[in-house]
């Protein structure tokens, strides 16, 4: 959204400003229209805990496993990501096929992602960081839990990187 | 049973469990699986600084912060209760290469020879922990997602931009691990 927008464009943006901004990267927009008490969020804590345990126990978050993956020395990570995508795709297909609703009886919506150059440039940059730190964002959290406390520095640095991206966003090619 | 749980889990157990996170989050509340955006919500909550990208109602995304807190807790639980305290087993070829850079400690999931508090202000440690983290944060937001948002959630819902992103993650990683990282490790 540049400053050169004409008035009618800005009006459209203002109509749904919050959703527009949150959807800028088409990621993780909260689709539910329902308002819930805070404790409804606890179910996500449980999913997170299960997820964190799998991360540690399958050593997906290990710097060594990531090096093996990028050097084609082990099938482990390819097996993990590949089978996760197969099960995920099968689940999404079933949800669409049988029109499965959420536990609050809402229709499940998955927004399409739109292509932009960021997926290439940002993707390559993240790949560099992934190989160096041996961690994507999820593992950073699990690693800190697993006692590698120095990863707190890496996480703070990643948050700083996020902020700097937000600051320069309008000036970067997309 | 306990012995099985405390051992490292094979890929065909871990992969499907991770894949199930996609329908679990959709079913529980129409949430698209993604992790890197949690760092955006942290920025929006703590330092929005009038930047349009961070001025939105982050409280609507609080579930995501709860989710990543769970990942942290899961890490603590797995480490304290389900740990067999054995060295991580890695490919011999990798072990040989890493010993050339003085990495011989396999007791942790990260190489503690590099990833420790004393190393932060060395050039190698700074590049790997601080700079590395920075481009993870910058790159994932620029790409609009990370391994979870693009490679798992995006590919599961058959979105081709996520396939492009995943290929770029892998390409950047393969080039870095094989050509740039050996240089950094030998610093």
Instruction: For residue B116, count other CB atoms closer than 10 A to its CB.
Output: 17
Tally of structural domains, chain B? 2
Shared-domain flag, residues B76 and B142: no
B121 and B81 housed in the same domain: no
| Min Cα separation B81/chain A (Å) | 10
Q: Is the pLDDT of residue A1 over 50?
A: no
Residue A11 confidence class, pLDDT cut points 50, 70, 90: very low
pLDDT-derived band at A114, boundaries 50, 70, 90: confident
Nearest CA in chain B to A42: B66
- Residue B126 in domain: yes
Closest CA to B144 of B160, B162, B157: B162
Candidates A45, A59, A109, A131, partner chain B, best to mutate (most B CBs within 10 A): A131
Report the C-alpha gap between A32 and A101 in whole angstroms. 12
Residues in chain B with CB shorter than 8 Å from the CB of A60 are 14, 18
SS3 A107: strand
User: Domain limits at B162?
Assistant: 117-187
Tell the burial category of B45 from Cβ atoms under 10 Å away from its Cβ (0-12, 13-18, 19+): middle
Of the partner residues B39, B63, B82, the one whose CB lies closest to the CB of residue A44 = B63
For A73-113, how does the pLDDT look when each residue is reduced to its tens digit (9 = 90+)? 999 999 999 999 999 999 999 999 999 999 988 899 888 88
Helix (H, G, I), strand (E, B) or coil at B161: helix
Quick one: pLDDT band at residue A24, thresholds 50, 70, 90?
low
Instruction: Give dist(CA A94, CA B9) in Å, integer.
Output: 27
pLDDT of amino acid A12: 38
Q: Note whether A122 contacts B144, CB cutoff 8 Å.
A: yes
Question: pLDDT at residue A38 above 90?
Answer: no
A26, closest residue in chain B (CA to CA): B144
| Interchain CB contact of A130 with B (< 8 Å) | yes
The whole-angstrom separation of Cα A145 and Cα A151 is 10
Give chain B's residues under pLDDT 50: none
Burial grade of A44 (CB within 10 A; 0-12, 13-18, 19 or more): buried
Separation between Cα atoms, residue B164 and residue A24, nearest integer Å: 18
Q: Which two tokens stand for residue B26?
A: 């959709």
**Of A59, A30, A27, which Cα lies nearest the Cα of A44?**
A30
Distance from A124 to chain B by nearest Cα, in Å? 5
Contacts of B13 in chain A (CB under 8 A): 58
Rounded to the nearest angstrom, the minimum Cα separation between A86 and chain B is 7
- Note the pLDDT of residue A40: 87
Is the residue at B111 inside a domain? no
A positions 152-171 inside 8 Å of B (CB): 153-167, 169-170
pLDDT of residue A30: 55
Count of positions (residues) in chain B = 187
Instruction: Please report whether residue B61 resides in a domain.
Output: yes
| In-domain check, residue B104 | no
Same domain assignment for residues B80 and B145? no
**Partner residue facing B43 (CB), from A69, A89, A159:** A159
Let me know if residue B42 belongs to a domain. Answer: yes
Q: Are residues B136 and B178 in the same domain?
A: yes
**Is residue B97 in a domain?**
no
| Residue B17 host element (H or E) | helix B11-29
Q: Give the closest of B16, B49, B119 to A87, CB-based.
A: B16
Question: Mean per-residue pLDDT for A129-147?
Answer: 93
Of B121, B37, B42, B35, whose CA–CA distance to B71 is shortest? B35
- The Cα B2–Cα A141 span in angstroms is 25
Last residue of a domain, one of B66, B85, B104: B85
Q: What distance in Å separates the CA atoms of residue A47 and residue B154, rounded to the nearest whole number?
A: 19
pTM of the full predicted structure? 0.89
**Does residue B57 lie in a domain region?**
yes
Percentage of chain A exceeding pLDDT 90:
67
Provide mean pLDDT across the span A1-25: 43
Question: Does residue B145 form part of some domain?
Answer: yes
Nearest CA to CA, how far is B104 from chain A (Å)?
Answer: 11
> What is d(CA B168, CA A134) in angstroms, rounded to the nearest whole number?
16
């Amino acid at each position: 959204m540049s400053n050169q927008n004409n008035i009618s464009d800005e009006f459209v943006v203002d109509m749904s400003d919050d959703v527009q901004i949150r959807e800028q990267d088409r990621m993780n927009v909260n689709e539910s229209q329902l308002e819930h008490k805070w404790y409804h969020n606890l179910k996500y804590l449980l999913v997170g805990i299960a997820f964190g345990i799998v991360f540690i126990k399958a050593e997906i978050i290990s710097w060594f496993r990531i090096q093996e993956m990028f050097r084609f020395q082990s099938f482990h990570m390819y097996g993990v990501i590949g089978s996760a995508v197969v099960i995920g795709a099968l689940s999404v297909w079933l949800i669409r096929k049988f029109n499965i609703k959420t536990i609050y009886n809402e229709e499940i919506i998955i927004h399409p992602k739109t292509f932009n150059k960021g997926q290439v440039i940002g993707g390559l940059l993240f790949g560099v960081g992934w190989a160096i730190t041996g961690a994507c964002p999820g593992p950073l959290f699990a690693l800190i839990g697993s006692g590698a406390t120095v990863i707190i520095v890496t996480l703070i640095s990643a948050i700083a990187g996020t902020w700097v991206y937000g600051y320069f966003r309008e000036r970067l090619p997309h | 049973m306990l012995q099985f749980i405390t051992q490292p889990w094979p890929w065909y157990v871990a992969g499907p469990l991770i894949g199930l996170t996609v329908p679990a989050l959709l079913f529980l509340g129409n949430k698209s699986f993604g992790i890197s955006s949690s760092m955006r919500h942290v920025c929006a909550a703590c330092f929005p600084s009038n930047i349009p990208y961070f001025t939105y109602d982050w409280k609507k995304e609080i579930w995501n912060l709860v989710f990543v807190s769970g990942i942290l807790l899961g890490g603590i639980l797995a480490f304290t209760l389900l740990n067999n305290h054995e060295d991580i087993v890695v490919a011999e070829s990798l072990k040989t290469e890493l010993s050339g850079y003085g990495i011989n400690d396999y007791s942790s999931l990260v190489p503690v020879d590099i990833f420790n508090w004393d190393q932060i202000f060395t050039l190698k440690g700074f590049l790997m922990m601080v700079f590395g983290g920075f481009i993870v944060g910058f790159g994932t937001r620029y790409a609009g997602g990370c391994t979870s948002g693009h490679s798992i959630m995006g590919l599961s819902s058959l979105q081709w931009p996520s396939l492009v992103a995943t290929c770029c993650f892998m390409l950047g990683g393969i080039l870095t691990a094989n050509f740039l990282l050996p240089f950094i490790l030998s610093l």
